[in-house]
Amino acid sequence: MILYDILKRKFAGQKKPIIAMAHFPATPGSPKYDNNGGLEKIYETVYKDVKALIENGVKTVMFCNEGDRPYLKNVGHETTATMAGIIAKISSELNLNCFGTDVLWDPKAALALGKATGASFVREVFTGAYAGDIGIWNTNCGETFRYRKNIEAEDIALLFNINAEFASSLDKRDTEMVAKSVKFSSLADVICVSGPMTGMETHTDKLQRVKENIPDDTLLFANTGVNIENVDNILSVADGVVIGSHLKVDGNTWNPIDPKRVNEFMKKVENL
């Protein structure tokens, strides 16, 4: 288990970490992949977004293959290979000291990508069983942790998304009890609580109930729906946030990063 103070250092020493999403367009093999633009178009898109984020106050980014709709439970090698090459290039060019990886919805692929690129953390749905847009969805945390051990990725913090987006849990327990159980049985470093889908708010009352049911050395992040209007309320409970859609042009997930939105959001966070 990675201790609380080590986790804090992993998130660039931020008292309340703000993790901004760097969304990849569709990668090779995905239905929406741009054959004409190719890998160069993907690189240019992600590079511009990350540059806009860090130039406007963001210290921590998380790379994710958001554009690979519809999502897979076991991604192809072409996805992780593409992401690894581009992340390595961008992290070097922009001197990123703190970043994470996520591959929807494949925990092993996310860990492999994190190991290959030197990520500080990985976010994924590591536990639970769900029914949703991608059908019946089961996980195997024990197997994933053993894979983590085998590739010597134990220094990578794990952010557990405990209520998957685009799906309903088949577990009848309340979110707070799931969080308590996941920490006890599955060794979570960070608990992430989401709304029903990307861009939808995680309410503070749910965050508060989860916070009261996990140990003090476990960080709690709001995983979706954070914006400039609600961030003060959310950070009054949560230890940090993951933010994506709100920092895009017009708040649209599929648009580029809006530097003005990022700047205004980060200024508000700094003044809290």
- Please report whether residue 90 resides in a domain: yes
Q: What is the mean pLDDT of residues 222-227?
A: 95
- Residue in the structure block whose two tokens are 């709304």: 195
DSSP structural state of residue 257: B
pLDDT confidence bin for 1, thresholds 50/70/90? very low
Give the tens place of pLDDT for each residue, 169-189: 999 999 999 999 999 999 999
Lowest mean pLDDT among 127-136, 193-202, 223-232: 193-202
Query: How many other CB atoms sit within 10 Å of the CB of residue 38?
Result: 11
Q: Which CATH number fits the domain that encloses residue 118?
A: 3.20.20.70
Q: What is the mean pLDDT of residues 68-77?
A: 97
Q: What is the mean pLDDT of residues 42-63?
A: 98
pLDDT confidence bin for 2, thresholds 50/70/90? very low
Q: What is the average pLDDT value for the chain, to the nearest integer? A: 94
Q: What is the mean pLDDT of residues 5-10?
A: 73
Q: Tell me: pLDDT of 198 over 80.
A: no
Q: Domain span at residue 230?
A: 4-267
**pLDDT, position 4:** 62
**pLDDT, position 164:** 85
Largest separation between any pair of C-alpha atoms in the chain: 51
pLDDT confidence bin for 141, thresholds 50/70/90? very high
Q: Which of 191, 189, 225 is nearest to 208 (CA)?
A: 191
- The CA distances from residue 181 to 86, 160, 202, 257, in Å, are 36, 12, 20, 36
Backbone angles phi, psi at 73, to 5 degrees: -90, -20
Q: What is the mean pLDDT of residues 183-212?
A: 89
- Please report whether residue 81 resides in a domain: yes
**pLDDT, position 3:** 52
By DSSP bridging, strand 18-23 and strand 60-64 are parallel
Q: Three-state DSSP class for 118?
A: coil
**pLDDT, position 181:** 97
Q: What is the mean pLDDT of residues 13-42?
A: 96
- The CA distances from residue 174 to 1, 171, 192, 227, in Å, are 25, 8, 15, 25
- Please report whether residue 272 resides in a domain: no
- pLDDT top residue among 266 and 197: 266
Q: What is the mean pLDDT of residues 187-192?
A: 95
Q: What is the mean pLDDT of residues 158-167?
A: 92
CB–CB of 139/74 below 8 Å? no
Counted domains in the chain: 1
